[in-house]
A and B are shown apart, each in its own frame.
Chain A
Amino acid sequence: MSSPVRIDATEWQRRFLDLAPETRREPRYLRHLGEREWAHYLKPPSSYLPYGFRRLRRMRFDGDVRALRLFSFAMEETERLFRAKQEGLPVVALMGDYGAVAPLLGAFPGVVTFYPDFCYFTPFLAESDVLLDRAERLGIGEDTCYVRAAAGAFAARANWPDPDLVVVSTGASCDDLAATAQAAHDLGHPTLFLDIPCRKDPAPWLRVTRFEPADGRPPVEAGLVDRLVAQYREFLARAGEVLGQRSDEVALAASVSRARRMRRTIREIRGHLASAPAAPLPAYEAMLAEFAATHGFGDPDECEAVLAGVRDLVAERAAAGVGVLPPDAARVVWATPPPDPLLFTLLEDAGGRVAGSEYLIASALTLPPDEPDPVVAVARAFLAGSLLGSSAARAKSVVAEVRRANAEGVVISNLFGSSHCGAETPVIRRAVEEECGLPVLSFDVPRPAPGGVASQVKNRVEAFVEALTQRRRTCGRP
């Protein structure tokens, strides 16, 4: 196997146009609808440039078609949603919950889910203020994290069709998202709210019965599971009323099994990313793979195939000892998903590699335990959520990830205005420095602007990688 490389949009376009037609046309979404011309979604990054995604011109991508399939599948979500709606499929927006509601909605076959929250990335991919300015006019301004872009998208109705239902999970999630979701609700969409309970894991003054989840995630108070299960049951009944369908228990069980399979695949991918001598996948595609765990990008069947392809790709590369980055790339754990994917390109160009991550979606990466009742399984997995617990608990997760990935440093991309970043970052930094003795780089992700990342952030990322490399010379390889 020849050494794979990261390539830019120009090179991908050239390679793509030479692909065999059957390779180009094989990936198809919403397959169960039968052949639809619009359902063939594989395309290179350059195809998105004329539609406003300007950042893609500055980024680098994995050059393998299996990784491109993942990229296209994620990028095509907007059209997939509109097409699904045109085909009469119910479209449900999920907000603030990562990994529980989507598998639950599998109880209603045909429902297509999406996360408006992921609009968080859009202003950066487009290098655009449009969505953020709209959010500001709705009263959600600069002092809110970039998730506010979703409010701007709701207001113009161009990023997704009017959802048949909006499911908002608030409570132990961020305040920014709750405000954004309220703005969406104010636009008149049918909305069901869920109250996410908080874990009180490190409270010094609390004695309750706990159980240990199978995968080593933070312990959870037993009462929370029951409350969440009751809430989910009620939710399914109310969602059924709104969608005009009865909850199908067999379909629900199948949906949860599928979520488990997908998460297992993602774990395998993450395992290779952490252990392979050379990075078997660039950080951007790796992040997309992780985010697929939340809802399978609205088409879990196709998503399974996409992820399997990526899993095979990284396994092959790991077995062959080749990667998309040099084997001596500095290994970092990245905490909090950067809304600007160009930051990954910067890190990788500077000689770094994301070997582990904590992207606030632990609830979506946790395997639902084997339970006779799929709702209980979902609730238990969900309670591992990154935002449900304390800052200290999240710091513990980052430390565990550092150890798992044998990392040499941690990068934290803060979101100015976010209700949790400001409190979490010092706690994470302290934990990493004290428990692992590793350096931490944290910075606020600057507002999107044409032309690339602000030079100050660029310099800091490059200097950090340089420092890690220097440190390795003095301290030895990890």
Chain B
Amino acid sequence: MTALAGLRAAADGREGALRAGIARGREVVGLPVPLAPPPEIVEAAGAIPFRLLAAGDADAELRALAALGRDACGTCRGLLGAAMVAHPPVTCLAAGTACDRMRRMLEAFGSTGLPVFTVAVPRVRGISGQRKALAQELRLFAGELSVRTGVPATPERLAAAIRRGNAARRILREADGLRRLVPPRATGTEYFDLVRAHGLLPVEDFLALAAAVPGELAAREPPSPDPVRVLLTGPTLLDGRRDALAILEAGGRAVAVADVTDSGTLASGEDVPEDGDPFLGLATHLLAHPVLAAPLRPSRAFRERFAGTLRASGAEGVLFRGVPFCRPFNSEVPALRLLSTVPFLEIREEGAAASGQTRTRIEAFVEMLLARRLSGGPP
């Protein structure tokens, strides 16, 4: 078994281990939103972080419909639906108010009987004092969680958790870099498997199982000699919506060499500062690497990141995988199109599994990019 396969298996089997932990009295904090609140705080308070993923099935989404309305985005419905249907192995929830729907979703989570801690995250860039305010909010969360666990989230414990978190990020960044090579040494699917495992596993387990993955990937033959290079963007690639990625990379003709999503490189990001007040460090990290990229107004930084990633990745096409009613991302599409120097495909589809039409569109998109390459279009 390869290291990556081992990692995948560990992530898949994670729920059972958590249920056992809960039975032993451990506090497991479900995190429906990447990075907010940071899992480091959860660890520092002696609890176990567990990234909640959207169900990815239509039935679960339907269950959430009554609580959120038929015009709620699939991510929120999927997350709530998953909680309602599968009863995830968590004892409480904590999440940032990344957008208004997310905020409403968290309230609806309360109906599952689980305590919910709402972390107010900034929605505007550049307001004076927002870093301190966010740090204070994180401190408040740490204090509240410590009351539940009986383990104070001291600065020392938090600093140690941050160091471990940074080590995990380095692994993710290394793997991310591999898919950008020419030819790519890792696929988008492999990278997102790593990200998924990072969200589901305790950081010690992740470090132990994932450390060998980048080296293993780099050492093997490239999965595809000369695939079409695509930049992925959109809100929910990780949360049960890997369909577009799977179709794109099927047959090795294309690789998602980079992404600008809330669950890919933006979620891993750069290191959290390890010196100084750890809460301020985490706040700095969150503000620099927004939880959800688009909703932070104005959108300039998100767009700059998109344009920069597009340039640096050498992508030949952009694939936007959106869902209806995800306002923060969907409203950015016209701007992203304008910024795209390469062909841009927008998929905006309800449900986790791609329809035949979507499959055809993505396949045709790859065909078109290949043809463009042959006809001498810009690489």
Contact residues of A with B, CB < 8 Å? Answer: 138-141, 143-144, 168, 170-176, 178-179, 181-183, 185-186, 191, 193-198, 200, 202-208, 223, 227, 230-231, 234, 387, 390-392, 414, 416-426
Residues of chain B lying within 8 A (CB to CB) of residue A174: 100
Of the candidates B68, B120, B335, the one having the most CB atoms from chain A within 10 angstroms of its own CB is B120
Indicate the member of B104, B295, B299 with the most A CB atoms within 10 Å.
Answer: B104
Q: Which residues of A sit under 8 angstroms from B327, Cβ to Cβ?
A: 143-144, 175-176, 178-179, 419
Q: Given A182-B297, A419-B100, check contact A206 B123 (CB 8 Å).
A: no
Q: What residues on A are CB-neighbors of B110 within 8 Å?
A: 202-204
Residues of A within 8 A of B335 (CB): 139, 186
Of chain B, the residue at the smallest CB distance from A193 is B124
Q: Given contacts A144-B327, A172-B100, A200-B120, is CB(A423)–CB(B333) below 8 Å?
A: no
Chain A interface mostly helix, strand, loop or mixed?
A: mixed
Q: Which residues of A contact B299 (CB under 8 A)?
A: 182
Closest beta carbon of chain A to B79's beta carbon, Å: 13
Q: Among B6-14, B111-119, B167-175, B249-257, which stretch is in contact with chain A?
A: B111-119
Q: Is B268 an interface residue (CB 8 A)?
A: no
Residues A208 and B140 in contact in the complex (CB < 8 Å), given A420-B100, A422-B72? yes
Give which listed residue, B71, B120, B144, B324, contacts A207 with CB less than 8 A: B144
Contact yes or no, A195 B117, CB < 8 A = no
Least CB distance from A431 to B in Å reads 13
User: Shortest beta-carbon distance, B61 to chain A, in Å?
Assistant: 13
- B103 adjacent to A181 (CB under 8 Å): no
Would A423 and B99 be within 8 Å (CB), given that A143-B325, A206-B144 are in contact?
no
Give the chain B neighbours of A418 by CB distance below 8 A.
71
Q: Is the CB of B123 within 8 A of A227?
A: no
Docked pose: A301 CA to B334 CA in angstroms: 41
User: Are A172 and B97 in contact (CB-based, < 8 A)?
Assistant: yes
- Check B331–A182 contact: CB distance below 8 A: yes
- Would you call B124 and A175 a contact (CB within 8 A)? no
9 A-B contacts (beta carbon < 8 Å): A172-B97, A179-B330, A179-B331, A195-B124, A202-B107, A416-B71, A423-B67, A423-B108, A426-B66
Please tell me if the beta carbons of B103 and A172 are within 8 angstroms of each other in the complex: yes
B150 within 8 A of A: no
- B residues with CB within 8 A of A: 66-72, 92, 97, 99-101, 103-105, 107-108, 110, 115-118, 120, 122-130, 133, 136, 140, 144, 295, 297-299, 324-325, 327-328, 330-335
B252 CB to closest chain A CB (Å) equals 33
Chain B residues with Cβ under 8 A from A183's Cβ? Answer: 331
Q: A139-B334, A144-B327, A205-B144 are in contact. Are A390 and B70 (CB under 8 A)?
A: no
A139 to B136, CA, bound (A): 36
Closest B residue to A424 using CB positions: B104
Also in contact, A422 and B100, with CB within 8 A (given A143-B330, A185-B298, A392-B107): no
Residues of A within 8 A of B125 (CB): 193
Most buried by A among B116, B295, B299, B327: B327
Closest to B323 in A: A143
Q: Beyond the given A139-B332, A181-B297, could you list 9 further A-B residue pairs with CB under 8 A, ordered by the A residue number?
A: A144-B331, A178-B327, A178-B328, A182-B298, A198-B97, A198-B118, A234-B128, A417-B325, A423-B68
Task: Quote the shortest CB–CB distance from A4 to chain B (angstroms).
Answer: 40
> For the complex, what is the distance from the CA of A208 to the CA of B133, rounded to whole Å?
15
Least CB distance from B11 to A in Å reads: 28
Q: How far is the CA of A447 from the CA of B214 in the complex (A)?
A: 53
**Shortest 3 CB-CB contacts between residues of A and residues of B:** A422-B69, A423-B104, A179-B331
Provide the bound-state CA to CA distance between A186 and B332, in Å.
11
- Once bound together, how far apart are the Cα atoms of A426 and B64, in whole Å? 12
Residues of chain B lying within 8 A (CB to CB) of residue A390: 107
Asked, given contacts A140-B331, A208-B140, A423-B107, whether A193 binds B297 with beta carbons under 8 Å apart, the answer is yes
Q: Does the CB pair B298–A193 fall under 8 Å?
A: yes
Complex CA distance for A139 and B327, rounded to whole angstroms: 10
Q: Give CA–CA (A200, B126) in the complex, Å.
A: 23
B144: A residues at CB distance < 8 A: 205-207
- Knowing A206-B117, A223-B136, say if A422 contacts B331 (CB, 8 Å): no
Q: Which residue of B lies closest to A148 (CB)?
A: B331
Contact, CB under 8 Å: A231 / B331: no
Which of B115, B140, B325, B333 is most buried by chain A, counting CB atoms within 10 A of its CB? B325
* Interchain CB contact under 8 A, A422 and B70: yes
Residue picked from A181, A196, A203, most chain B C-beta under 10 Å? A203
Say whether, besides A138-B334, A182-B299, A206-B117, A420 and B133 are in contact (CB < 8 Å).
no
A230 partner residues in chain B, CB cutoff 8 A: 128-129
B131 to chain A, nearest CB (A): 12
CA distance A203 to B126 in the complex (A): 28
| A205 surroundings in chain B (CB, below 8 A) | 92, 115-117, 144
Q: Is A426 a contact partner of B67 (Cβ separation < 8 A)?
A: yes
User: CA A144 – CA B225 in complex, angstroms?
Assistant: 43
Residues of B within 8 A of A426 (CB): 66-67, 69
Shortest distance from the beta carbon of A201 to any chain B beta carbon, whole Å: 10
Cβ-defined contact, B107 with A391, below 8 A: yes
A195–B130 CB distance below 8 A: yes
Whether A195 contacts B104 in the complex (CB less than 8 A), given A138-B334, A205-B115, comes out as: no
Contacts of B68 in A (CB 8 A): 422-423
Are the C-beta atoms of B69 and A423 separated by less than 8 Å? yes
- A-side contacts of B105, CB under 8 Å: 423
Asked whether B297 lies within 8 Å of A178 as measured between CB atoms, the reply is yes
- Say yes or no: B334 contacts A203, CB within 8 Å: no
Q: How far is the CA of A176 from the CA of B107 in the complex (A)?
A: 19
Contact in complex: B120, A197 (CB < 8 Å): yes
Whether A175 pairs with B99 at a CB distance below 8 angstroms is yes
- B67 cross-chain contacts in A, Cβ below 8 A: 423, 426
Contacts of A416 in B (CB 8 A): 71
A423 and B123: CB pair below 8 A? no
Decide if B99 touches A195 in the complex (CB within 8 Å). Answer: no
Decide if B120 touches A198 in the complex (CB within 8 Å): yes
Known contacts A193-B124, A204-B110; A143/B104 CB under 8 A: no
- Are A168 and B297 interface neighbours, CB within 8 A? yes
* B-chain residues with CB within 8 Å of residue A204 when the two chains form the complex: 110, 115-116
Rounded to whole angstroms, the CA-CA distance of A417 and B331 in the bound complex is 13
Q: For residue B101, which residue of chain A has the nearest CB?
A: A419
The complex places the Cα of A171 from the Cα of B99 at a distance, in Å, of: 7
Instruction: Provide the bound-state CA to CA distance between A196 and B97, in Å.
Output: 12
- Give the docked Cα–Cα distance between A121 and B324 (Å): 24
Contact status B328-A179, CB under 8 Å? yes
Report B311 CB to chain A, min CB distance, Å: 21
The residue on A at minimum CB distance from B66 is A426
> Chain B contacts of A208 at CB under 8 A?
140
Q: How far is the CB of B104 from chain A (nearest CB, A)?
A: 4
Q: Which residue of B lies closest to A425 (CB)?
A: B69
CB distance from A168 to the nearest CB of B (A): 7
In the complex, which of the residues B92, B140, B328, B334 contacts A175, with contact meaning CB atoms closer than 8 Å?
B328
Contact partners of B117 in chain A: CB under 8 A: 203, 205-206
Residues in A whose Cβ lies below 8 Å from that of B72: 422-423
Q: Which residues of B contact A172 (CB under 8 A)?
A: 97, 100, 103
Partner of A139, one of B124, B129, B297, B331: B331
